[in-house]
Chain A
Amino acid sequence: MFNERIMKRFTNPKYAGGLRGANGTGRSGDSECGDLIKIYILVNDENVITEAKFKAYGGVCTIVACDIACGLIEGRSLEAALRTNYYQILEEMGQVPENREYTATLAEEAIKNAIDDFYKKKEKDLKGKK
C-alpha cells in the first residue's frame, strides 16, 4: 500500500516529538476528520529556523509528510521556508495513494501557520517592550 521510502520514514521519523523553547507553532487539520498536525519551529535572531519538530495524530502519510516538511524547513530562513509547498513534500514522498495526497497540503499549511505564529508572537513581544 505504501512505498518503501514512506515506510522507512514512518518507522524512523527524524523530526517527531515536541520542541522545547519553540517560538512558533502551527496547527492544521482536525482530529474529527482524522488528522491533526502541529509543527514547532525554533527561529533565531537572523530569522533562520534552527530546529523544527512535529506532533501528529494521523495515518502513515500524515506522519511522513510532517517529517519531510520539517526536514525541508530546518536550517532555512523564514522566507525560504515560506516557499515550501506541497509539491516538494509529495516529491520526497514518492508514489502516494491518491486519497493521501492531502497530507502534504496539511503539512504545508502547518508550516505557514507556524511561521505566522512566530511573527505574531514577535509582534506581541515588540509591543510589550514599548
Chain B
Amino acid sequence: MVDVKQNSQRSKFPPVDAVTGKSRYNLLSGKYLKIWQGPQHPGITGNMSLELTVCGDEVIECKTHVGYLHRGFEKLMERRKYIQCFPLVCRICVPEPDFNEYLFAAGAEELAGIEVPEKALWYRTLTLEMARLASFLMWIGGQAGAFGMATIGQWTVTMRDYVLDLFEELSGGRIYHMYIIPGGVRSDLPAGYARRVEDTLVMIEKVLKDIDLAMMHNAVFKKRAVGLGVITPGMVDEYGITGPNARGSGIRRDIRKDLPYLVYDQLDFDIITEEGGDAYARTRVRMRETAQSIDLIRQMLRKMPAEGPFFRKLPNVLHWKVPTGQTYVQAECTRGEYGFFMVSDGTELPRRIYVRGPSYTHAVTLMERLAVHVNIADTAGLMVSLHTYPPEIER
C-alpha cells in the first residue's frame, strides 16, 4: 500500500490537508479532472457510481455515490406481515437472493421458537451453496471483463445460467427462488435432481480449469491485478472487512466455520486464505472457493437425509404474531458477513428489520480509500475485486 502522504510530496499531486487527510486541489487549475464512473458504466458493479478526481490517469480522490437502487425494503417490511416479507427479502440481493431468504426465515424462526426439520436444513444449505456458486461464476465474468477479458465472462455467465436452470427446476424461479420460507423450504427435491446437479458441476469444473489457464495464468491479468487495491491485515478490523476480501489478506474468518449454522458443522471443508491482500489474491480466494462450493454441494448430495419432512407447519401466516424479542442472525455469503437484525413487538408486523450487507463497507468506505493512486483504467477491476452488490447497500 502506497502511503498517501509520501505521494503527496510528488509535485503532480495536490497537497494534503493535515486535519482531514484529504487532498486539496483546485479544479480550475486545469490539472485535475472529475469523472463519473457510473451509474451507467460497464466498469461499475450495478447501479452505483464513483465520483473520481483524476490527475492525468491517476485517481487522487474517490467518492462512492449510492441511491440509484433504493427500494426501501426495510421500510416496506414494517408494513407487511411476516409472510408478506418473504417475497420481498430475496430482492435485496439479486445475484444471490437465497441468503436473504435464509436469514429472514432463520430470524423469524428464532423469534418464534420454531425448529426446522432436519431435511430442510440440508436443503437450505444446498441452495445457499448453489447460490454461492452462481454468484461466484457471475463475479469471475465481471472480474475478467473489467480487465478486458470479456470472453471469460461469457463462459461463466453461461455456467451460471445452468445453475439457474437447477434453481428453476427446484423452486420454479430462476432469479428469485423464494424457496427458503419460514418453517423450512417450499418443496422436496425433484426426482433425479442430484444427478442433474452433478452433471452441471462437471460442466462447470471443466470451464473453471480453462479459466485457471486463461485468467489466473495470464500475464496481462497478473500484471494488472497483482498489487492492485492492497488490503493490509491491519485494515481488516479497522474497516470491518469480511469474506474473501479479508481472507485474501490472510485473515482466517468465515462464519461457516466460526459460528457454524445449518449443517456446515457436518461438512468437511477448510477456510481458504491467500496472502497479499491485492486483487489477485482475492481472485485466487474466490476461484478456490468456487471449487470448494462444488465440493460442498457434492458432499451434501451424498450425506443429506432422503426421508422426512421438509417443512414444519407455522401458525396461520395470515395473522402470525411473532413473539416480542430481537435477534441478529448471520451467514457467510460470497461477499462476507450477511446479517439480519430483526425486532418483533409481538404484533403481526415486524417492528424493524435491519439488513447488514457486506457491500456497504466494501463499496463505500473501503473503495474510497483503495481507489486513491490507482490508475483510472484499473478502478473497474478494483471495484469488482471487492465484489459488491449495490442493492444490499440501499435496503
Q: Are A and B a genuine interacting pair, yes or no? A: no
Question: A residues engaging B (CB < 8 A)?
Answer: none
